[in-house]
Amino acid sequence: MATIKDFEELEVWKSSRVLSKQVYLDFKENRDYGFRDQIQRCAVSVMNNIAEGFCRNGDKEFHQFLNIAKASCGELKSMYYLAEDIEYINKDIANERRLQANQLMNGIGEFMQYLRKTNKK
């Protein structure tokens, strides 16, 4: 595998960026500012923790930040259940975003496993 020099090259970061934009677009008209703030913050937390962890001093710290990013992805998935339940968003979009969040969580988990394997060598 080629050496990655910038976090922008990471597929998990690219995916989290796309998902964050979609969250902002999904709720840009929503006037429940507490809800909107929370769902946007957890989406942004995913991409920012990947970036921040990458810029830290080693894989152990990076792993810790990836763990936080993965947890924020779980929070985002949960928020889409609430958004659907209180009819802030339709069921199809909520399902699609939960699927995207789940795929991103899996991608982060696989990346964490990869880092653990490469550090044992």
Residue burial 54-89, b: 16+ Cβ < 10 Å; e: rest: beeeeeeebbebbebbbbbbebbbebbeebbeeebb
What is the domain count for the chain? 1
> Does residue 93 fall inside a structural domain?
yes
> Does residue 4 fall inside a structural domain?
no
> Does residue 57 fall inside a structural domain?
yes
The tokens describing 23, both together, are 């969250």
Which pLDDT band holds residue 121 (cuts at 50, 70, 90)?
A: low
> Does residue 26 fall inside a structural domain?
yes
Angle at 25 between CA 75 and CA 106, to 5 degrees: 35
CB within 8 Å of 26: residues ≥ 6 apart: 83, 89, 93, 97
> Does residue 3 fall inside a structural domain?
no
- CATH number for the domain spanning 113: value is 1.20.1440.60
Residue 41's domain spans which residues? 9-120
> Does residue 2 fall inside a structural domain?
no
Total-model pTM = 0.94
Please write the tens of the pLDDT for every residue from 38-90. Answer: 999 999 999 999 999 999 988 899 999 999 999 999 999 999 999 999 999 99
